[in-house]
A and B are shown apart, each in its own frame.
Chain A
Amino acid sequence: MSNQIQRKQYLAAYGFVVPFFIVFIAMLVVPLIFSGYLSFFVDRIIGGVSFVGFENYIRAFTDPAFLAGLGRTALILVIQVPIMLALALAFALALDSGRVRGSNILRLLIFVPYAVPGVVATLMWGYLYGGEFGLIAQMARGLGLPAPDLLSNETILFSIMNIVTWAFVGYNMVIIYSALKSIPAELYEAAEIDGASQWRVAWSVKIPAVRPAIMLTVIFSVIGSFQIFNEPSLLQPLAPTAINQSYTPNFYAYNLAFVNQDVNYAAAIAFLLGFIIMIVSYVVQLSTQRKERTA
């Protein structure tokens, strides 16, 4: 390739990439740096804005409100995410096995909640949970049981987990299902002819083959769990005692910035949150890569 042609192609490539990176820098890199910058300052009533180094971060790690929110996120990560992804995987395998009648309709029905805005999903479940005209309370009463209080201190976290599960099982299922469909049939036809059971085929052939897709759903779920905001924010009026202003880290950052006007501390929390997500995602990826190597 002559130099001139090569230069023309470089130019074209940069031309295609530059518009994306202009927005990328303006909307991603700059806010990230600005957030980091803000987090090193404190705005006091007496003395104004001053540089304090890592003080906001030290404050965060000794702030019981922030740590409690982080703890709730951890509970969601170890309880809700595995349940959601196990359901998504099970549904995807069942639909892919070709043994279910009406599997095309089923796939759409399970996916539909993804198209429902988080706000509407939360409002709707809020009504369903509620004591007044809530469906769950109505059903319990119809069976002669006491209506469960799904908005109490003890139950609200599970009520939130349920909303997230309802909304995202179908989305994760579609990702895994699409990957399952791309497995070359020869890979398991041989096993089927040899008389391997569907369970065995699923476990030894299909699941290993869609590991990258499962990985992606894990990473997205980790990111999503740390960003939970809609649910506590919209359920708070229904459960004012159960949901405090630091219920999840993201909700806390919002309240710090816009209710308490403590922008610097909010920036530190937001920055820290991003950092924690990167570490957790990285650890998740690393641990599965190691598993693959030993396998």
Chain B
Amino acid sequence: MTAPALPVPAADVVGKATKRKAYNRDNQRSAALTIVMWLAALYFVLPLLWLFIASTKNNSDLFSTFGLWFGNSFNLFTNIVDVFTVQDGIYARWAINTVLYAGTSAVGATLLATMAGYAFAKYRFPGGKLLFSITLGAIMIPLTALTIPTYLLFSQAGITNTPWAVIVPSLVSPFGVFLMRVYAADAIPDSLIEAARMDGASEVRIFWQVGLRLLGPGIITVLLFSLVATWNNYFLPLIMLNSGELLPLTVGLAQQQATSAAGGGAQALFSTVITGSFISIIPLIIAFLYLQRYWQTGLATGGVKG
């Protein structure tokens, strides 16, 4: 399943939580509910724990020892070295490509969505309502259904198998526009814009100096979720790229896995693919944990109106 690009905006989680704690007083914790929830959490965590433990094993331990406990030898560091040296260290190349494609797409998509969302929220202009409705309607167009025709157009223009073929289609985020419009409507008071106008600031300057400052958490939310959408995308780069050194991690790992599953002499790759997969998920998990205060507040304001 392809991840939808963005979540719905909603309440100021941090602020509300503290306010409510005061009321929730001697709120009886429920032991039964706590146990059920922690058992449920195992379902989500155990596969990842398995992935970590498996990446500390060599191939023979992988096949001969229990999956949720360490093997006879601790091979994590050997495996990491393997990941970065197999096929002349192409993994590092894939990692750089992933950062480059996801970073450029996310920054671009967020900038476009922020400008458009700001304009829809803070200006009344002819055609504005119509354009916004069109954007809303486009949220429902499945992007993967557009990928094949986009590939055909790109191949006629001769830009398949270049980074642009992956980056440009990822710049469109109708849901990002929707989220920024909802966020901007609440976060930027009209009076502030009027005051800036009185002072003679140009519209562009008002956007850069007043708008962007107040849109911070909304921008981080859109940025983070566009980053995930591109970082995790498999279908688009699979279709657009065919040179090994242009691939992102998703397609590269899938190809390595296909080679090792095809078996024969390439068997040694299993632990390399597993360790490579494990390394590839660390940056996004850290980003989500590190930025949680921002994106949880950024899911702020008025999603209930959505």
A is bound by B: yes
Q: Which residues of B have CB within 8 Å of A118?
A: 1-3, 232, 234, 250
User: In the docked arrangement, what's the CA distance between A57 and B254, Å?
Assistant: 33
Q: Is the CB of B144 within 8 A of A27?
A: no
Answer whether A112 and B145 are a contact pair too, CB < 8 Å, given A16-B116, A99-B30. Answer: no
Q: Is the CB of A113 within 8 A of B48?
A: yes
With both chains docked as a complex, state the minimum distance between the C-beta of A229 and any C-beta of chain B, in angstroms: 5
Residue from the list B13, B17, B47, B261 in contact with A166, Cβ < 8 A: B47
- Does A62 sit within 8 A of B, measured CB to CB? no
With both chains docked as a complex, state the minimum distance between the C-beta of A119 and any C-beta of chain B, in angstroms: 4
Closest to B51 in A: A124
Closest to A164 in B: B1
Q: Which residues of A have CB within 8 Å of B303?
A: 175, 178-179, 182, 212-213
Q: Is the CB of A179 within 8 A of B304?
A: yes
With both chains docked as a complex, state the minimum distance between the C-beta of B51 and any C-beta of chain A, in angstroms: 5
Q: Is the interface of B mostly helix, strand, loop or mixed?
A: helix
User: In the docked arrangement, what's the CA distance between A179 and B232, Å?
Assistant: 26
Interface-side segment among A42-50, A150-158, A271-279 = A271-279
With both chains docked as a complex, state the minimum distance between the C-beta of A251 and any C-beta of chain B, in angstroms: 10
- Does B100 sit within 8 A of A, measured CB to CB? no
- Does B192 sit within 8 A of A, measured CB to CB? no
Q: Is the CB of B50 within 8 A of A9?
A: no
Q: How many residues of A contact B (CB 8 A)?
A: 111
- Does A195 sit within 8 A of B, measured CB to CB? no
Closest to A12 in B: B203
Q: Is the CB of A35 within 8 A of B135?
A: no
* Docked complex: A151-190 residues within 8 A CB-CB of B: 164, 166-171, 174-175, 178-183, 185, 189
Q: Is the CB of B126 within 8 A of A10?
A: yes
Residue from the list B34, B50, B306 in contact with A100, Cβ < 8 A: B34
Residue from the list A16, A27, A98 in contact with B172, Cβ < 8 A: A27
Answer whether A179 and B10 are a contact pair too, CB < 8 Å, given A115-B288, A124-B47. Answer: yes
Q: Which residues of A have CB within 8 Å of B153?
A: 30-31, 34
Residue from the list B7, B30, B141, B254 in contact with A123, Cβ < 8 A: B254
Answer whether A123 and B273 are a contact pair too, CB < 8 Å, given A135-B67, A178-B299, A277-B140. Answer: yes
Residue from the list A179, A228, A254, A281 in contact with B8, Cβ < 8 A: A179
Residue from the list B37, B287, B306 in contact with A91, Cβ < 8 A: B37
Q: Is the CB of B29 within 8 A of A117?
A: no
Closest to A163 in B: B1
- Does A21 sit within 8 A of B, measured CB to CB? yes
- Does A259 sit within 8 A of B, measured CB to CB? no
- Does A224 sit within 8 A of B, measured CB to CB? yes
Answer whether A20 and B116 are a contact pair too, CB < 8 Å, given A125-B47, A178-B13. Answer: yes
Interface-side segment among B18-26, B75-83, B84-92 = B18-26
With both chains docked as a complex, state the minimum distance between the C-beta of B273 and any C-beta of chain A, in angstroms: 7
* Docked complex: A89-134 residues within 8 A CB-CB of B: 91, 94-95, 97-103, 106, 108-120, 123-125, 127-128, 132-134
Q: Is the CB of A23 within 8 A of B296?
A: no
User: In the docked arrangement, what's the CA distance between A109 and B45, Å?
Assistant: 7
Answer whether A123 and B50 are a contact pair too, CB < 8 Å, given A13-B123, A223-B140, A234-B254. Answer: no
Q: Is the CB of A123 within 8 A of B253?
A: yes
- Does A258 sit within 8 A of B, measured CB to CB? yes
Closest to B31 in A: A101
User: In the docked arrangement, what's the CA distance between A30 and B168, Å?
Assistant: 14
User: In the docked arrangement, what's the CA distance between A164 and B123, Å?
Assistant: 40
Q: Is the CB of A263 within 8 A of B203?
A: no
Q: Is the CB of B47 within 8 A of A178?
A: no
Residue from the list B4, B113, B119, B231 in contact with A224, Cβ < 8 A: B4
Q: Which residues of A have CB within 8 Å of B168?
A: 23, 26-27
Residue from the list A11, A21, A30, A123 in contact with B277, Cβ < 8 A: A123
Residue from the list B23, B44, B123, B280 in contact with A189, Cβ < 8 A: B23
Q: Is the CB of A38 within 8 A of B152?
A: yes
- Does B128 sit within 8 A of A, measured CB to CB? yes
Q: Is the CB of A112 within 8 A of B48?
A: yes
Q: Is the CB of B123 within 8 A of A9?
A: yes
Q: Is the CB of A270 within 8 A of B288?
A: no
Answer whether A120 and B11 are a contact pair too, CB < 8 Å, given A16-B207, A99-B33, A258-B239. Answer: no
With both chains docked as a complex, state the minimum distance between the C-beta of B276 and any C-beta of chain A, in angstroms: 9
User: In the docked arrangement, what's the CA distance between A254 and B151, Å?
Assistant: 11
- Does B163 sit within 8 A of A, measured CB to CB? no
* Docked complex: B61-114 residues within 8 A CB-CB of A: 62-63, 66-68, 111-113
With both chains docked as a complex, state the minimum distance between the C-beta of A194 and any C-beta of chain B, in angstroms: 15
Q: Is the CB of B232 within 8 A of A119?
A: yes
A-B contact pairs, 12 of them (CB 8 A): A19-B115, A27-B172, A98-B20, A166-B43, A175-B299, A178-B13, A178-B296, A181-B10, A185-B20, A224-B2, A234-B257, A254-B239
Told that A27-B169, A135-B68 touch, could you supply 12 new A-B pairs with CB distance under 8 A? A12-B203, A16-B123, A28-B172, A31-B150, A35-B145, A106-B41, A115-B281, A119-B232, A132-B63, A185-B20, A212-B303, A230-B1
4 nearest CB pairs, A to B = A182-B11, A178-B10, A12-B203, A16-B119
